[in-house]
Structure 1
Amino acid sequence: MNATVLIVDDNEDIRFTLLEICKFAEWGVYEASTGKAAVDLFKTLTPDIVLVDYHMPNWDGVKTTKELRILNKTVPIIILTVDERQEVADMFLEAGATDFALKPIKAPDLISRIRINLKIGKLTEDKNDVFVEKGINQNTLLSIKNYLYNQSSPSTIDEIQRKLPIAYQTVHRYLNYLESKGQVEIITQYGKRGRPKNKYQLI
């Protein structure tokens, strides 16, 4: 897939590593060492996806993500961080991030995440509005569709919630929304004991 990636990180060594990974995947690359420089670049270049470091001086990853979202409501934004705390993930989702990659960066994982985000970004409907319906945020919707797209078999809400920085109740609500739009299929599995389990997959 031909694509351009904007790398935003104040660490030159990390930018070099990310550059090499993207070059290996045959993607074009733009670089910025600060959040403000990234936003200025974005205004001119409009990349297909953005990789944003969390901890940066002046504009951190949250500020940078918010400023990018003012310019573009749908471009995939992947956050690079060593912080796995739930509150950090929630903060970035609220700011408009679509995915996360933990440092130290592993090339196969990052390439896979970028490819999936690019594909899902193209599949996402209503790209001109971050809110596809009242109470439904397109960035959160994208994260859930992203996960389902990458699965070879249907997933339960518990499985989805454990992998995404999204609350159980939120996952359930968004899956019901996707099912009402005909984008997700609900598969009920009956075991020998206990209540049947619902699993979900993209149609």
Structure 2
Amino acid sequence: MAIAKKILAIDDNTDILYTLEQICRFQGWTPLLAESYDAAERILEKNKPDLILVDYHMPGVDGIRAVREIRQVLPDTPVIVLTIEETEKVMTRFFEAGANDYALKPIKAIDLIARIRAHLQFSERSRYYQPRDKGISEVTLEKIVGIMQNIRDFQDIDELEEITGIKKKTLYRYFQYMIREKMIEQDLSYGEMGRPRTLYRWNGRM
């Protein structure tokens, strides 16, 4: 019998914690609940969660600082930030702090479950093998995966370089790997004077 995945949820709103608890139980995951990062630290002393959900706006230690603190002790555990904000500036701060992904509030159960499943699968797969391609880093790959999952439309390499903060040459190498693994899809677009552009989009599979 498979051991239930442990999901740590950190949020100062008890109603949201209750919702997250019910989502976890419905999926067969074990919920670990904390109303602050201080409470989460006490949980982490006795448990190693498989994934962490953390609210952005919390009194005391906010979500950005919480992610940084988590990364000191759990460098590989997937972290999803919950937020009402969707600006590129805020998203960039999440990823710079070490978050793998973010989900918007109010919480949409279907969307959040899909994100959790994807990151659990990615994390599980990463434990058993490394990408065979030379120069492919799991840390960089997971960062790109987290960003691409939040992009609904096809984007070209210049736009993705700005969004990810990763140089085009590096992105292209990772995209070729991700295309072979069927993680993203590509398309051609013809701009001014018929010049072709290669566009990329997450294909919804892991």
**Superposed pair shares fold, TM > 0.5:** yes
Q: Which amino acid aligns with 1:167?
A: I
Q: Tell me which residue corresponds to 1:89.
A: 91
Q: Which amino acid aligns with 2:144?
A: I
- How far 1:146 sits from its partner (Å)? 4.5
- CA distance in 2 between counterparts of 1:29 and 1:159 reads 40
- Indicate yes or no: 2:141 matched with 1:141: yes
In structure 2, do the counterparts of structure 1 residues 168 and 114 end up closer, same or farther at CA, with 3 Å as the change threshold?
A: closer
Counterpart selection for 1:123 from 116, 122, 125:
125
Counterpart selection for 1:109 from 91, 111, 118:
111
Q: Any gaps of 5 or more consecutive residues in structure 1?
A: 128-132
Q: Tell me which residue corresponds to 1:72.
A: 74
- CA distance in 1 between counterparts of 2:117 and 2:52 reads 12
Contact 1:5 1:30 (8 Å CA) reproduced: yes
Partner-residue secondary structure (3-state), 2:80: strand
Q: Which amino acid aligns with 2:19?
A: T
Q: Tell me which residue corresponds to 2:132.
A: none
Q: Tell me which residue corresponds to 1:167.
A: 163
Equivalent residues in 2 for 1:19-38 (5 A)? 19-38=21-40
In structure 2, do the counterparts of structure 1 residues 67 and 178 end up closer, same or farther at CA, with 3 Å as the change threshold?
A: same
**Normalised TM-score (structure 1):** 0.76
- Aligned-pair identity (%): 34
Partner-residue secondary structure (3-state), 2:70: helix
- CA distance in 1 between counterparts of 2:53 and 2:43 reads 13
Counterpart selection for 1:176 from 143, 168, 172:
172
> RMSD value over aligned CA atoms?
3.8
Q: Any gaps of 5 or more consecutive residues in structure 2?
A: 130-134
- CA distance in 1 between counterparts of 2:58 and 2:173 reads 36
Contact 1:65 1:77 (8 Å CA) reproduced: yes
How many aligned positions are there?
192
**Normalised TM-score (structure 2):** 0.75
Could you tell which deviates more after superposition, 38-47 or 104-113?
38-47
